[in-house]
Amino acid sequence: MNVRTGLKRLQEAARQTVREVWLASGPPLRSTRRAWQFDVLVALTIGVATVYYGIDNADNVVVREIAPGVERVMTRPNGPGGMAFMVTLAFIASVALVLRRRYPLAVLCVVTAATLATPQSVLRLTFYAYVIAVYSAAVYSPYRVATLAALPVSVLLVSTSGNSVTPIVPNEYIALLILVPMAVASVGLRTWKLRTDEGRTRLSALEREQAETLRRAVEHERARIARELHDVVTHNVSVMIIQAGAARKIMKTSPEQAGEALLAVEAGGRAAMTELRHVMGLLTMADEGGVTGVDGPAAVPAPQPGLDQLETLVGRVRDTGLLVELTVTGPPFPLPPGVELAAYRVVQEALTNTVKHAAGATAAVTVEYGPDRLRVEVTDTGGHAGAGAADGNGRGLIGLRERLAVYDGTLDTGRRLTGGYRVEALMPLEAQ
């Protein structure tokens, strides 16, 4: 059983090795148009030079000194057949370089075969193309395991074959062979420096953009919290002022009614504190524990008010002596929490302004559920300014417009022809 298990493991390891050899370690390189043009230019240059070399050296005799006092005579291929053979080798090795980025291993195999077939006396026909093919396979091949195996084999075959005599470079080309790599290295270093500087510039710009985005987000959140505090404090404190003033006036003549007014003041204060705890809890909630409020720790802030709490809101306003009628038309259906909160704040702000600026009036609240929109309207018949009326600065309506704009809603306000004031909010809804 152990022997079988060992054999299975060896087979699986062998399969894994084969898969690693044939599977790419990365995606194949996609040549750009500029890279393609450069490879064509390289192949054309090498091809023209080697073909010219083959034609120019046909029927020549090469004498080389392989040791002190020992010379070796090498006859190059001659005749039309020999010239055609040299031109074919040079053409195959050069044209293959066009695909050196897309198929580097295949190009290496083709050029290696052409190099092995090249006679010893004319190694220049394929030697330079072979050097470029080896470099391309090492740099561009996505098959890393296969490349690491193919490169040593190719170099070993070329170096140990009968054509192992290194081609001699004429003296007039030595300066060119030194200056060209230096120029290429200089251009590469300059390109690398430019790209590094561009990368640093883009990184700095990205950091500045992120800092600006964070600053705008902080400002937006501060403005949102300020609107929440304004809505909560203004409404409840206005109601409390009205109730406290009424209790003070009837304290001596009607103690029971004064007590009821003070109870309403207490209820309004508790409601204000509950909503304040929710808003401030968004800022002070700790990561480990909950929110520490006035009445003790609260693990989770209370949910935001919605349209289902309009009766409670209208009831608190009625306790101030303002006659308010609530009408809901259309079948109610669930709405997004943000939309419900925005509609609730519209009613809250409008009734607060009515209590402050239209004492003695009557008000009507209408909530209309439509198939594609939600309409909220608050109207009053007009009255005289109450306590705290001079404290208005218009920020409440501005905040409502900004809140509604988040949901593509609109706010329409103005005096009515028949007297009083009207506030209407329209918010589009998705199909229900």
Average pLDDT (137-164) is 77
pLDDT at residue 89, rounded to an integer: 85
Higher pLDDT, 386 or 389: 386
Please determine, for residue 16, whether its predicted confidence score (pLDDT) is greater than 60: yes
**Domains, the chain, ordered by start:** 16-164 (no CATH), 174-285 (1.20.5.1930), 307-428 (3.30.565.10)
pTM of the model as a whole: 0.40
pLDDT at residue 365, rounded to an integer: 94
pLDDT at residue 60, rounded to an integer: 57
370 burial level (CB within 10 Å; 0-12, 13-18, 19+): middle
Give the pLDDT band (50/70/90) at residue 27.
Answer: low
Please determine, for residue 286, whether its predicted confidence score (pLDDT) is greater than 50: no
Lowest mean pLDDT, pick from 110-114, 383-387, 418-422: 383-387
Average pLDDT (178-200) is 71
Per cent of the chain over pLDDT 70 is 66
The CA–CA distances, whole Å, from 378 to 338, 359, 381 equal: 20, 15, 11
CA distance 356 to 419: 16
Give the pLDDT band (50/70/90) at residue 378.
Answer: very high
